[in-house]
Structure 1
Amino acid sequence: MTIWVDADACPVAVKEILFKAAERTGVILTLIANQSIRVPPAANISSVQVSSGFDVADNEIVRRAASGDLVITSDIPLAAEVIDKGALALSPRGELFGAENIRSILNMRDFMDTMRSSGVHSSGAAPFGAQDKQAFANQLDRYLSRLRS
């Protein structure tokens, strides 16, 4: 089991939580981005730099992800693709995406995208805060606990 991170837009606080969890549990953690990402010197933590371009990092995550893996991303289409491969996805705000909910979330995302393109303005996502960090840490702990049992 590997945790893959869509690292280009992942908040620093989430990366720090992931580093600590990987060091504590020994789970393999790989960050993928189109820029260089510094990671702690641990055998189970690595980063992969891909070329820049639209969805290059996403495509690399989809290529590498396997059934049972966890992907950290706020990109709903990416989450849907890895779920189709049998993985789970977790947003940096602590929302767990799986086969039972990803289609409705993807439909809502597409609906909101259509609304924005027709001129309807939305307030957008709230800034990442302490509650988001805690929700992510709690959901990650639940996931890692299930692996150990």
Structure 2
Amino acid sequence: MKLILTQPVSGLGVAGDVVDVKDGYARNYLLPRKLGTAWTKGGQKQVDAILAGREARSHKTEEEAKAAKASLEGSSVTVSANAGSGGRLFGAVTAGDIADAIATAGGPKVDKRRIEVPRPIRNVGEHTAHVRLHDDVAADITVLVEQA
């Protein structure tokens, strides 16, 4: 199925890209989350509008992203979570929790959808998260999970 991405999707593309995906992936994941729309002949106008908007914002946001990367790179944020006696959390630390911790630590505002956690954080300790600030700019941060 051919789709026009309306939001960046990790491993697939950025907004405005026309991608070919399996029907089930489109129906069950991308379309319900409004990450893409079905491609039509008239949809090419929508692609052109998305690309023009992205091009206009690209230069300004890239400078801001590089500044945010400088403040995030090498820094660590602390997240408190309920844990058992063995250090195992009663849930998991989510991207939303990390985004809130960055904001409370005085860092730049980061959208939780732009934070990627390679493995679910389910233990107390030190973990790493990847923050996509721009198409070409990303930062790795250290997440310290403490028992609340």
Q: Report the TM range for the smaller structure's normalisation.
A: under 0.3
Please state which structure has a larger fraction of its residues in strand: 2
Looking at CA atoms only, which structure, 1 or 2, has the larger radius of gyration?
2
Q: So what's the TM-score if we normalise by structure 2?
A: 0.24
Please state which structure has a larger fraction of its residues in helix: 1
